[in-house]
Amino acid sequence: MARALELAARGPATGPNPRVGCVLLGPDGETLAEGFHRGAGTPHAEVAALQAVAGSVVGATAVVTLEPCAHSGRTGPCSRALLEAGVSRVVVAVPDPNPRAAGGTAELRAHGVDVEVGPLGEQARALNERWAVAVGRGRPWVTWKWASTLDGRSAAADGTSRWITSAAARADVHRLRAGHDAVLVGTGTALVDDPSLTVRRDGVVTGPQPLRVVAGLRDLPAGARLADAAAETLHVRTRDPREVLRVLAAREVRSVLLEGGPALAAAFVAAGLVDEVVCYLAPALLGAGTPAVGDLGIRSLPDISRLQTTSVDLVGGDVRVVARPCSPAPAEVPPQFQSVPEFEEAAGVHRDR
């Protein structure tokens, strides 16, 4: 299973499908073939391994990091492919959380295949955590990223923010961007900052680009950077953060990097729609200026929104803190954010776009 997980990790971290690896073993434990899923529309890991076999796999064991699918989508059901190949045993790390695809282990057992579930399950779940949360909750995983001074300011009083963090931290943001399906800002940031929201290396647009998403009602100018051909841009004309995520889920977007200003961030945080926070703290003080997040409606310390820190690292001269909310998400968007006008972020926020 450890080898199957290594193979799975070679697959793309973005896209609608999970990363899956498969190893086919002969009766004596010898490796017959290996495979992993290379992205939407390509053979699933089990089929890729079967296609790589030089001879027969009758009586073989398939070791798979995720339950073989039992439905036909862009490709056929993997459970059926394993049955037709004559595999007699299947070892699965974790069940498939997607109700549309689950059921492969039940089908295999019904046809006499010996099925074991659980080996290295924790590692397998961690590999596809964002995808599993997205399909389980019916909305994309949301990572909220911001950069600020130690006193929590993301821009000075006059709106300037270039540069609060170091070049190393800004380069790390592009790595973070590349690991998400979409990047999200509100119309305020789109109009004031005119961001490009692309993945760049040394200033050059490089590699597959995330979907650029703008939430809000106002039109963007025809000459905006978000209107260029560097990447696809989607304008979701709503003020409701849940509706934004519903639209993205319908497009099979599994992960979103939230890069908007304080009002948009506050709307998502207060609605319980942030799954992870990545904060870049510069060792600097401003004393006044734009806060990293707007009013969350918290009026008393017992109501504080606490996070659990998962990692702290130095990036250049800055500190990168990764944390996750401790409290469960509320059922509805809090009233104070149900009519946030246009996600009016303050000018000059998060200029590294």
Catalytically annotated residues: 46
Rounded Cα distance between 251 and 294, Å, is: 29
Our CA dihedral for 193, 270, 130, 254, rounded to 10 degrees, sits at -60
Tokens of residue 173, six digits: 């943001």
Given the structure tokens 């955590």, which residue do they identify? 129
**Is residue 4 a contact partner of residue 23, using CB atoms and an 8 Å limit?**
yes
Task: Detail the DSSP E strand segments found in the chain.
Answer: 21-25, 31-36, 61-66, 89-94, 114-117, 141-149, 153-155, 182-186, 200-201, 204-205, 211-215, 233-236, 255-258, 276-282, 290-291, 307-315, 318-325
**Is residue 138 a contact partner of residue 264, using CB atoms and an 8 Å limit?**
no
| Side chain identity at residue 192, one-letter code | V
C-alpha closest to that of 33 among 62, 10, 8: 62
**Is residue 182 a contact partner of residue 213, using CB atoms and an 8 Å limit?**
yes
C-alpha closest to that of 131 among 120, 121, 139: 139
Our CA dihedral for 143, 145, 150, 153, rounded to 10 degrees, sits at -120
C-alpha closest to that of 246 among 140, 143, 131: 140
